[in-house]
Structure 1
């Protein structure tokens, strides 16, 4: 049976600032391997590091899910109003949408500062957060991704989802217009219709349509190739960024270990210096004691010699 990474670990990874993502993931992978769970270790290793903007959106989804749900509900109401062309309601909901998005952006900023007090407003990509939340309003699939709290990059869309087709009607004259007048207009329109096309013209038209369809298909294939190339490039860039981040964290750990070892050596050196100073003082005191004892010995020896003489 395939196991999934522990939910609390996944939440901790995507809730914490991105700078700590790689270190926490590496520790979790090592723990899973040590426990003999190689499948879980593989799945944890496959989790991707989010961008700062994606992390801000994840904070909203994980810590304030009720606000995200309210935004999604508002999006459904807005799409319904847009489909039905209710102008007044559409304007009101659009205003609510703007206010809701800006409020969520500000909430994301506050959550980020709580999680990482050193962050300032100018250093946060709030524009990308706003674009992603607006995209979630327009696209139900994006909204579902936002709900998960596991975004690795932000998204954006142009416009606002569905564009309703206007309902058209034939506008005729006022009360003085009669059915007869309308019929006359219809007759004139019929008289002005072009003559039917010949078989040759039909073949030419069909050929033009096929050529246009082939051009569109070729253009689509070219765009799809560019899309695949861009996706591959983005994946390679993500992998390179993660490798660089891993190398940076490894170097930082090495520096920290060396700093700790250096600090320990400094403490030992200071202790040795203190011990050497104490030994030096003790040696001087012992030399003075030896000199004093020798003088005393000479004095006693002299007194004994006088008594014997």
Structure 2
């Protein structure tokens, strides 16, 4: 049997329409070889979507492109954290060109591997996945593994500085703004027909903007928390599925053992029947022999003189 890593690579390289049958055959080979651990690990592998398979092809066949993606992602995050505007704009342009080249490479590999036309490939999902990998190191790691099972997307890009905010009250706003200055004669003349925004109105507008920003930050934190909860839930689900598979394999093993015991029992019952028949035959032979002995002894007694 081939090594587990080689088998896994072949499963994720091949078009996904044959994944389930190929996985089942690999599991059967592992069981025949007595490698239950390999069979269990193979059973845990999940079928990829078409988009994930296309991304996996790039990771497995052109790993140097994925390494370049990781390097570009690192440079983008560094430029954004340090707010280097010119460099960030240049890297963003490079990012768009690089993602396009990745999608083109993925398209060519998928067409060569499956023979399907490019029009049938979900290249939009493929592009979204590569873009997400540039923004999120965790997604980049999944892409690099070559075992992605579904396409991913990313709502934002890069890391955004998070300023410290506090809720501003009316009193704070009035104190910050101060008394409204009197208009000069030069500025008063052109403004009689245009209502001027008061300091309180400006403060209220600023307060609403800050509250909106604060609410956005809170929702972003909630979203990050929800995503973390989702990842943990997915982890628990995977463990539960693995435990279920292990229990199923145990039942299969016990069923096989029971079948073997039933076969041996049937053979033992047949052997008992044969031995019983042999015993009865021996009993008949012994009885016949005893009768023969009696007959011979009687004949001898008749030959003796009185």
Length-normalised TM-score, structure 2? 0.54
In the aligned structure 1, how far is the partner of 2:176 from the partner of 2:72?
47
In the aligned structure 2, how far is the partner of 1:190 from the partner of 1:27?
75
Question: Structure 1's 81 and 39: CA in aligned 2 closer, same or farther, altered over 3 A?
Answer: same
* Structure 2 partner of 1:162: 159
* Structure 1 partner of 2:19: 21
- Aligned pair 1:51/2:49, yes or no? yes
Deviation at 1:112, TM superposition (A): 0.3
* Misfit runs of 4+, over 3 Å: 188-192
- Describe how 1:156-235 pairs up with structure 2 within 5 A: 156-164=153-161
CA RMSD between the two structures: 3.5
Deviation at 1:191, TM superposition (A): 8.9
Deviation at 1:189, TM superposition (A): 6.2
Tell me if the contact between 1:137 and 1:143 (Cα under 8 Å) persists in the aligned partners: yes
SS in 1 for 2:91: helix
Moved more, 126-135 or 33-42: 33-42
* Structure 1 partner of 2:62: 64
* Structure 2 partner of 1:251: none
In the aligned structure 2, how far is the partner of 1:42 from the partner of 1:5?
14
In the aligned structure 2, how far is the partner of 1:127 from the partner of 1:50?
16
SS in 2 for 1:59: helix
* Structure 2 partner of 1:34: 32
Alpha-carbon displacement from aligned partner over 1:104-134 (angstroms, at most 9, x marks no partner)? 00100000011011x1122111111111111
Deviation at 1:39, TM superposition (A): 2.2
* Structure 2 partner of 1:121: 118
- Aligned pair 1:84/2:82, yes or no? yes
Length-normalised TM-score, structure 1? 0.53
SS in 2 for 1:58: helix
Tell me if the contact between 2:76 and 2:158 (Cα under 8 Å) persists in the aligned partners: no
Tell me if the contact between 2:129 and 2:151 (Cα under 8 Å) persists in the aligned partners: yes
- Aligned pair 1:134/2:120, yes or no? no
Tell me if the contact between 1:53 and 1:128 (Cα under 8 Å) persists in the aligned partners: yes
In the aligned structure 2, how far is the partner of 1:160 from the partner of 1:120?
31
SS in 2 for 1:25: helix
Tell me if the contact between 1:5 and 1:44 (Cα under 8 Å) persists in the aligned partners: no
Tell me if the contact between 2:47 and 2:149 (Cα under 8 Å) persists in the aligned partners: yes
In the aligned structure 2, how far is the partner of 1:158 from the partner of 1:5?
39
Deviation at 1:33, TM superposition (A): 1.1
Question: Structure 1's 32 and 160: CA in aligned 2 closer, same or farther, altered over 3 A?
Answer: same
In the aligned structure 2, how far is the partner of 1:142 from the partner of 1:227?
15
Structure 2 unmatched ranges of 5 or more: 165-174, 180-214, 242-306
Deviation at 1:164, TM superposition (A): 2.8
In the aligned structure 1, how far is the partner of 2:139 from the partner of 2:97?
20
Deviation at 1:227, TM superposition (A): 5.6
Deviation at 1:5, TM superposition (A): 6.3
Tell me if the contact between 1:105 and 1:130 (Cα under 8 Å) persists in the aligned partners: yes
In the aligned structure 1, how far is the partner of 2:28 from the partner of 2:52?
26
Tell me if the contact between 2:50 and 2:121 (Cα under 8 Å) persists in the aligned partners: yes
Tell me if the contact between 1:13 and 1:24 (Cα under 8 Å) persists in the aligned partners: yes
In the aligned structure 1, how far is the partner of 2:109 from the partner of 2:3?
25
Question: Structure 1's 148 and 79: CA in aligned 2 closer, same or farther, altered over 3 A?
Answer: same
